[in-house]
Every structure is written in C-alpha cells, then in structure tokens.
Amino acid sequence: MNSILFPAQKNDLLPLLDQCMAKDQFTLQRSLNKLDFSQLTEESPAWKKWAAKAQRSLEEAQQRKLRVPKIQYDMALPVAAKKELLVELIRDNQVVVIAGETGSGKTTQIPKICLEAGQGVRGKIGCTQPRRLAAKSVSERIAEELGSPLGEVVGYQVRFLDLVKAHSLIKVMTDGILLAEVQNDRFLTQYDTIIIDEAHERSINIDFLLGILKQLLLKRTDLKVIITSATIDTQRFAEHFTLNGKRPPVVEVSGRTFPVELRYRPLASYEDDAGNVVEQDMTTGIADAIDELSNEDPFGDVLVFQVGERDIKETAEVLRKRNLKNTEIVPLYARLAMSDQQKVFQTSQKRRIILSTNVAETSLTIPGIKYVIDPGLVRISRYSVRSKVQRLPIEKISQASANQRKGRCGRVSDGICIRLYDEANFNARPEFTDPEIHRTALSSVILTMAQLNLGDVQRFPFIEKPADKSINDGFRQLYELGALDEKHRLTPEGRQIAKLPIDPSVAKMVVEAEKNGVLAEVIVIAAALSIQDPRDINQTTMQAARVAHKLFEDERSDFLFFLNLWHFYEHQRRHLTQNKLRKLCKTNFLSYMRMREWHELTVQLEQSLKRIGMRVGKLNLFEEKRKINKQGIASDEVQERLSDLHSIAVHKSLLAGLLGNVAMRDDDKSFLGARSTKLFIHPSSALFKRKPKWVLAGELIETTKLYARNNAVIDIHWVEGLAKHLIKHSYSDPHWQKKRGQVGAYESITLYGLPIVSRRHCNYGPINPVEAHKIFIRHGLVEGQLFSKIGFFVHNQALVHKIEKLEHKLRRPDFLVDDELIYQFYDERIPKQIYSKPAFEKWAKRAEKETPEQIKALYLTEAYLMKQQASASLLQDFPDQVHLSNQLSFDVDYH
C-alpha cells in the first residue's frame, strides 16, 4: 500500500479518513485539526506521526477487506431473492428496516448481505440476538455458510464466553453484550454496522438500544443500522428512525412456508365425583394432541410450547411413561447445558417431540418441525409500580405470538398447528405482547443513562416512552439505594453501582459490603441472587432434594445457605474432573450449568470490583481449611465463627440493597411488608416454620400469593442507620425534663409504614427549636423548674416567691401577675435558639460579659410582677410574728 503523501491543503486528507478504521477516525480527525499545515513540511515530526497512524489504520482496513470470503447464499431462502435490492439499500441509506416472516432467512443472510455491500471492513458487523442460544446457533450457521471456522470471520459473544477475534468481520452477540459495550465505547467505534435482530420482541434491552442508536446516528453518519423484525408493526421502527426528514426504507420478505392447518382443541372438561366441573390438566391435553397427530403421522417432528422448565420436565415424564414408539423427547430451555441445547438442531432417525419454552418462538429455527402444539400460555414478568413487586403470572399469549408459534411448522411440508384453546379465545386476546419497558422496573435503565450522560430520561428517544409513574418509580428506587440524589444526579456511590454487571439493588449490597469488610462473602451471595436458583428440583425429586439441601441450610438465613453451598461446590470444583463434578451436582440436586454460571459471575464481579479499586480478598472460611471436612461442609465451629464475626456485617450489607423488602410478623402465618403489603414466607425457605419478628426478603414474587423468598432474620435497629434518607420520624408528648435541663419527647420511626422505633426518649430541642423554646420558657423559667445560678434568674425566682408568700399570707391570689405575662417577658428578651439549660447558661454568661445591658433587662421588678400593692391595714391583720408575752413570740408562716 502506498504511503500517504503530504497534501497541498488539509481538506485533501478528509476522503482518506473515510477509508480508515472507524475506531481510529475520530482521533485522527481531532489530531489532524490541530496540525497547522502552513508551518509543516513533509519532514515535520508532527506530520510524520499523524501519517504513520493513518497509514496503520488504512492498512488494517485493507487487510480486513482481503479477509472477506466468497459469499454464497441459500437461494431457497426468500431473503436471498432480494439480496441485490438489499445491498443497494444498505449502501444508500443509513438505516434499513427489514420485515421478514418466519423462515425468510433474514437472521443468517442479512449479515452476509452487509458484507457484500462493503460493510465489515472499517469495523465489525455487529448482530444482536435476544438469547444466548440464538447467538451461538446463528453464528455457527453463518460461519458454516462462509466456510470459516467459528471465531475467525464470524464469532459470537455471550455472557462469560467471547469467541470473537480482533480481525473477525461479523460478531453475533446478545443485546445485553452490546448494551454493556456502550458503557465503555459510547460511539460503538468497533462497528461499522449494527443489526438489531428480532426487534419485534421489544425487550427492554432492545428498546434501550434503539434509543441509543437513534442518538448515535446523528453523530456517526458512517454507521449503518439494520432493524430486522417479524412482520409486526414495522412502520413504528421506520418512524422511530426518521432522521432529518428522511424515512428509512422498509423491505418485506415473505417466509418459506407450506400450508398450515389450524386446529382448535380446547382442554376438555369433566365432572368429578363431587359433581364439580373440572378442566383437563395441560399435560394431559398435550399428550392427547400428540396422540391425535401420531394417529395421522407417527413420523413428523412435533414442537410443543411450554411455560417453563418445570412444565417441560413434567410433560417429558408423562410422555416417556406412554412408551411412544420410535420417539425421542428433546427438552429446550435457556438454562439447559449447551450440548443438550444443540440436540434440537441435530436430525434423528426417530420422531422428535421438542418441548420448548418461548425461546423457539422467534429466535431459533428448529429444522424438521412439521407440527406445533400451542397451549397458548407464557410466564411473563410484570412489575407493579404500586406494590413495588415483580410478579411472574402465567398469561395468555398475544395473537402475534400465537401466529409466530404457528409459523414454526410448515417449513418442510404441509403442517398442522393445534391450539389448546378455542377460536373465540384467540380472537379475544390482545393483538401484541406488551413491550417489556411497560412491565418492568426502570432503575437499571435510568442508572445506565445517568452514567453515560444520555440526558433526561423523559426526553430520551425511546421507541415508546415509558409511563411517567414508571420513570418516577425508577428514580425512587435509585434514591433509596443512594445511587441518585434528590435532584436525580448520580452520586459517587451510584457510579460504583453502575459499573457492576448486576441489578442496582444487588450492586448496592456489594458496595456496602466493602465498607463492612465482608466483600468476599457478599459477592458470592450477590452472584447467587443474580442467576436462576441453582437448586434443580421438580415435583418427583422434591423430598429427596430437600434432604440433600438440608446440609447447607442455616435456620436463621437463606442467604447463608448460598455461602455454605458455595464452600461445598468450590472445594469439590478444585479437586474433581468436570464429569465427576457434573455427577456430584446431579446427586445433590444442583444444576451444573447454573453452578458454573454462579462461579463465572462471581469471578466477573471480582474483576469489575478490581477495576473500580476494590480488593475482594479471600472468603474467611477458606482460611480455616483444617476445619472443612471431606464433604466440603464447614464444621459447626467454623459456622459459629462465621455467625459471630461476619453474619451481622453480611446481613447489614444485604439490607442496604433491600430496604423495601423488610417485613414484620403480622399473625401466625403472614407478615406485614412495606406500604401495608401482606406477604408470606415461601415454603422453600428455612424460615418457613419459624416465627421471627422481623425478616429481610431477598425477593418478593407474586404467584398465588405474595411470597418472600431467600429470607433472613434481622435486627430491626439496623435499618435506622442504613435508611436515614428514607425513614420518617414522628414526635409526641414534648415535655420539660428537670434533671437534664432540656425538652424531651417520645420519638417514633417508620420505614414505608413499618414501625422501626416506638416511643423512644429523645432530646426535642434540635428537632423543633421553636416548640422547645416555648416549653423551656414556660416550664423552666416561668414555673421555675430550671436549676440554675444565673443572677437574673435567681433574683426573679426570689421575687416571685416573695409575692407568692404574700398571697398566701393575705389569703388573696390576686397580687402576682399571670404566668402569661412572665412568659411574654422572657420570650421577648431571650433568643429563640435557647431551649435548654446548657444553651441558656452559655448564652447568659457570654451576654454578661459582652452585652450586660441585655442581661440587666432580664431582671424583673416588683412593680412588673404585682397587680396591686397590699394596704398597710391589711398587712397589719396578718402579722409576721405573734407575741404572746414579753418573753414569748412566734414567727407565722402562711399557707
């Protein structure tokens, strides 16, 4: 490649910058702007330095161009027929929206079309997928079609696994990975193209990325963005990316499908022995539908959609008991081991019945599917702004989802889709699934926006703006965690929280743990709370699993269960082969994949903490290796040591992130949570049969009831120190305290309505100086309950006592002025900030020296205090002495 020639003028170099790597273009442009060519020559060091950098960037782009392989397409895929049109549109437009039906080939072919359009040279072609399994399978397919080993031309990255090289042209990843990259590379300079696949799923990550990309396109005019979606609401995407009046083109690609017969088979109802009408259970309905299909065709592969992992396992068990001939039962769910997930893509001589969650709805194309059974249900996460609880209800899927499921069959031949509900039920369903941004907590999104300085969340270009109440709730959560201040500004602690790859509430626990000296313990618990529960339990194994897990239980804390389990697993992991470790997990009813994910997330947290200057250190129990028995279980002595030295610090750290999850026992079975919420301890908790007064819940989940999962007994007094910005104080019965010489009151403290402190004595002066000043004057000075030797006060009290004595003597209570007049006298002369004996005496002594006239004005006079003077004749009637004889007299005391 020829060297860069010294230009006649600076602008001659601008076309050259457009050929450099995207990651270098900005810095090259900035340093070029600083060069003064009127003072430079071809031999100037500044020019040589710039030219060398530009040369290296150009050569890297050239090398990448040479790595582009020969591109071939599967012409049987409908999208391949439109490749020339798509190449032209990608070259001519910054944004292109592609709507492709199921089976159109858009996911695997669009990245190759981008390569043909000249993309992938100045930066990678980034392609996001909503799920890890899809990212892996899509990258493998593209790599295979390009004739390149996985990890070379095409790679993929998911959490804990990165198979992408610097020279890779195409990078497939989960949308969460791309979102995380924005935090370190706001302009996404390692990419020249971003493909957001399956955009119709509208996860919160997808919606957030769509907003970020809209902002970014105005700053990076070289960046290409491709939005691919099922044929659902594509015009909304086009409107969103209309920039400077230019609307992006929308290309629709049909699917490759054969006719699909639709059958409605609602679950049968029958009358039980008691005469009640009972609906057939879902598992039996699925089995009956498989029997119906088997009678017509015993060979075609069947895809059955299920709500979750437990349903899949239970259905698989029922089907296996039926001894279906020449049939293989294949489960598919996100937490399944990768090798087991791959089985769905492998052909078999047997008929396959694939039991899958909605991961197979849009993200994956499973080969050979002829039939679909759709129960029409999905477990969907919904956050309640009112109750602050994440619910996981099982709901009816939308019409759009039902049609997506139907589209998974009829790919290789005529197909049949059996819906286990009737047509009227289908027609009554909502047209689309609610986008996740309307049914989830927004604290993570708001925190990320604050960290990246993306501006006001109210003005951020979301494709659909979240409700104001959801935004305000997100701000409230972050304020509760101390991540934002009252003005929604990021706090120093908030910056630390934002840099940890976990939910903000869990990240808060970790940050607090560093202060408490238990970082090593808490990151293990934090990682456990951030993954799906590692215990592998279903209905048939529940009893045996509970016996096995009893070894790790702590009767006062489910959080310590995770620590105990961690010690066991880590001890075994260091000594066993992978196969033996798998068997150990199975024997102990643990998911090997989740345990591995737990370990990897813990390591990732350690690395993240190291980057922000926190040293994790070792778990305290690992220092007591002598006391770990052969099974890896900590001895009673070590458990006691943990409890004594670390348990309080650990649970205080956890409490810092879960202040809204404190609950007080209400009756025998229920607890009262924040904002008068009624909740119950989950049966899986070690605290289920205990009756602690106060508990902390790691999670509140609403199913049939509102359940508290992962609980611990806590000391409610911890809350006061951690929730100073949240607790509410109320004060009652303010009163003068003679002995202390101050105004006292009874203080009550609540957190979200829960009584943290009840009627605690407190010094009321600093709390309400105005009211305390009044009480001090009335009771301390006017009523004389203050014990002080300050001159004017001693004088005034003596004068009052003299007049009171006169009233007793004359049997007339009308000489001393009312207390109100004396109160007014003091109130006008004593500063308002004086409300206690110490403050009073300090002020008076200083005033005696500095402003004696102020003190002089505080001396009461007899004329001021007396309403009237007593007449001489009246005084004679009440002598001070009585003389009985010349030698005998008595003093008289009147009462």
CA atoms within 13 A on the CB side of 52: 7
Residue 823 lies in a domain: yes
- 843 and 780 assigned to the same domain: yes
> Which regions in the chain score pLDDT beneath 70?
1-2, 231-232, 256, 271-275, 277, 338, 363-364, 539, 619-645, 809-811, 815, 870-878, 882-883, 885-886, 892, 894-895
Alpha-carbon distance of 20 to 28, in angstroms, equals: 9
Q: Which helix (H) or strand (E) holds 795?
A: helix 791-810
CB count within 10 Å of CB 593 equals 21
* CA–centroid distance for 342 within its chain: 31
Q: The whole model's pTM is what?
A: 0.82
> Which CATH number is 222's domain given?
3.40.50.300
Q: What is the pLDDT at residue 629?
A: 47
Q: Which of 66, 86, 108 is the last residue of a domain?
A: 66
Residue 890 lies in a domain: no
Q: What is the pLDDT at residue 624?
A: 39
Q: Are strands 678-681 and 389-391 parallel, antiparallel or unpaired?
A: unpaired
- 102 and 224 assigned to the same domain: yes
Question: How many folded domains does the chain comprise?
Answer: 7
- 642 and 676 assigned to the same domain: no
| DSSP 8-state code for residue 457 | T
- 589 and 683 assigned to the same domain: no
Q: What is the pLDDT at residue 498?
A: 93
- 197 and 230 assigned to the same domain: yes
Q: Which of 437, 453, 485 is the last residue of a domain?
A: 437
Residue 760 lies in a domain: no
Backbone angles phi and psi of 79, in degrees to 5:
-65, -25
Residue 317 lies in a domain: yes
Q: For 482-495, what is each residue's pLDDT tens digit?
A: 999 999 999 999 99
- 579 and 684 assigned to the same domain: no
Alpha-carbon distance of 841 to 859, in angstroms, equals: 15
Q: Which residues contact 286 (CB under 8 A, 6 or more apart)?
A: 304, 315, 373, 375, 420
- 473 and 510 assigned to the same domain: no
Angle at 325 between CA 319 and CA 326, to 5 degrees: 110
- 694 and 625 assigned to the same domain: no
- 560 and 669 assigned to the same domain: no
Residue 893 lies in a domain: no
- 294 and 238 assigned to the same domain: no
Q: For 69-103, what is each residue's pLDDT tens digit?
A: 999 998 888 999 999 999 999 999 999 999 987 77
Residue 740 lies in a domain: no
For residue 220, give the 3-state DSSP assignment.
coil
Residue 892 lies in a domain: no
Alpha-carbon distance of 224 to 280, in angstroms, equals: 52
Q: Which residues contact 828 (CB under 8 A, 6 or more apart)?
A: none
Q: What is the pLDDT at residue 335?
A: 72
Angle between helices 592-611 and 578-587 (to 10 degrees): 110
**By the 8 A CB rule, do 228 and 199 touch?**
yes
- 710 and 824 assigned to the same domain: no
Instruction: Give the domain extent around 480.
Output: 441-498
- 550 and 609 assigned to the same domain: yes
Q: Which of 450, 483, 498 is the last residue of a domain?
A: 498
| DSSP 8-state code for residue 36 | -
Residue 559 lies in a domain: yes
For residue 45, give the 3-state DSSP assignment.
helix
Q: Which residues contact 763 (CB under 8 A, 6 or more apart)?
A: 742, 743, 744, 836
Q: What is the pLDDT at residue 408?
A: 87
